[in-house]
């Protein structure tokens, strides 16, 4: 009998989901939260244009005001890492033109956490632990000691001091600590429903350490345990249930993009 070669049909390889950054870097030293710069980036960027070709256009059209070409290049390289790494999220941010003033710093805060493990650990673990203290405050000396303890002998003393200042500056912009002089109070920022829904739909589409209810992104803004359950049970578009240690989500929208189409 003659052998017949039947071609195999290979299943398509699923694209790997975007993931939070895990490699520590120093970009925070030159750019903290960057709320207004981020807003301008969302408004102007065309993801179809390769990042290497964007700088001159951004400079000539004054996306970031009168900043130098060198500074524009630096901002763009940072925003590629913060936003382009998550293409579905960037598409949503581009169309979210009516984003309210309370949501903007939350979105920038979470994307900085996603792209910067040092900031994520500072705001999502260290400040959360400090918040549980009897007198929850933080200052530059406390922050400096934390940096030096977390990363002993990695950077010079001067660089560690810079890190401490930038961490406090970014956290202050995000509203998780006060902006007054040291010592700074730890705050619970207002998290609008749209911002919370955006984060949840984003997290369910990426790879990150933690779960949808226990992670540094929610913890950093005070959304933990009972308070988080209360918010999730009343959040439009999400049906949330908890039984003991088991949690269950039912989503009205199948993806971040679909949620934006229906909501924004």
DSSP assignment letter at 177: B
- Return the percentage of the chain with pLDDT > 70, whole number: 94
CB count within 10 Å of CB 72 equals 22
Read off the pLDDT band of 222 (50, 70, 90). Answer: very high
The number of CA neighbours under 13 Å toward the Cβ of 84 is 16
- Angle at 34 (CA atoms; ends 32, 39), nearest 5 degrees: 160
From CA 31, how far away is CA 28, in angstroms rounded? 5
Report the b/e string of 37-71 with b at 16+ CB within 10 A: bbbbbbeebeeeeeeeebbeebbeeebbeebeeeb
Using CA of residue 18, residue 20, residue 22, residue 28, what is the dihedral sign?
positive
pTM of model > 0.85: yes
From CA 122, how far away is CA 126, in angstroms rounded? 5
Q: Give 107-123 pLDDT, tens digit per residue.
A: 999 999 999 999 999 99
Asked if 58 contacts 70 with a C-beta cutoff of 8 angstroms, the reply is no
Nearest to 72 by CA among 34, 103, 108: 34
Place of tokens 């398509």: 12
Read off the pLDDT band of 8 (50, 70, 90). Answer: very low
CB count within 10 Å of CB 201 equals 24
Distance set, CA 39 to CA 36, 68, 70 (Å): 5, 18, 19
pLDDT at 13 over 70: no
pLDDT at 203 over 60: yes
Asked if 231 contacts 223 with a C-beta cutoff of 8 angstroms, the reply is yes
> What value does the mean pLDDT of the chain take?
93
Asked if 252 contacts 258 with a C-beta cutoff of 8 angstroms, the reply is no
- Higher local confidence (pLDDT), 180 or 79: 79
Phi, psi of 231 (to 5 degrees): -65, -40
Nearest to 195 by CA among 168, 226, 217: 217
pLDDT at 87 over 50: yes
* Arithmetic mean of pLDDT, 185-210: 97
């Amino acid at each position: 009998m003659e052998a017949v070669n039947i071609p195999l049909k290979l299943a398509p390889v699923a694209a790997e989901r975007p993931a939070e950054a895990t490699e520590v870097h120093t970009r925070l030293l030159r750019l903290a939260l960057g709320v207004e710069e981020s807003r301008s980036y969302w408004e102007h960027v065309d993801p179809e244009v390769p990042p290497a070709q964007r700088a001159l256009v951004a400079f000539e059209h004054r996306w970031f005001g009168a900043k130098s070409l060198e500074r524009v290049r630096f901002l763009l390289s940072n925003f590629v890492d913060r936003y382009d790494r998550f293409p579905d999220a960037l598409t949503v941010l581009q169309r979210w033109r009516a984003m309210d003033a309370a949501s903007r710093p939350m979105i920038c805060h979470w994307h900085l956490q996603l792209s910067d493990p040092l900031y994520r650990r500072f705001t999502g673990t260290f400040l959360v632990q400090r918040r549980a203290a009897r007198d929850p405050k933080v200052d530059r000396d406390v922050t400096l000691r934390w940096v030096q303890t977390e990363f002993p002998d990695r950077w010079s003393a001067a660089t560690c001091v810079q890190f401490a200042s930038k961490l406090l500056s970014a956290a202050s912009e995000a509203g998780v600590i006060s902006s007054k002089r040291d010592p700074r109070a730890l705050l619970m920022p207002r998290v609008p429903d749209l911002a919370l829904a955006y984060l949840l739909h984003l997290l369910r589409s990426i790879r990150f350490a933690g779960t949808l209810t226990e992670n540094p992104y929610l913890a950093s803004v005070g959304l933990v345990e009972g308070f988080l359950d209360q918010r999730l049970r009343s959040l439009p578009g999400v049906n949330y249930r908890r039984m003991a240690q088991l949690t269950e989500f039912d989503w009205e929208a199948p993806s971040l993009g679909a949620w934006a189409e229906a909501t924004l």
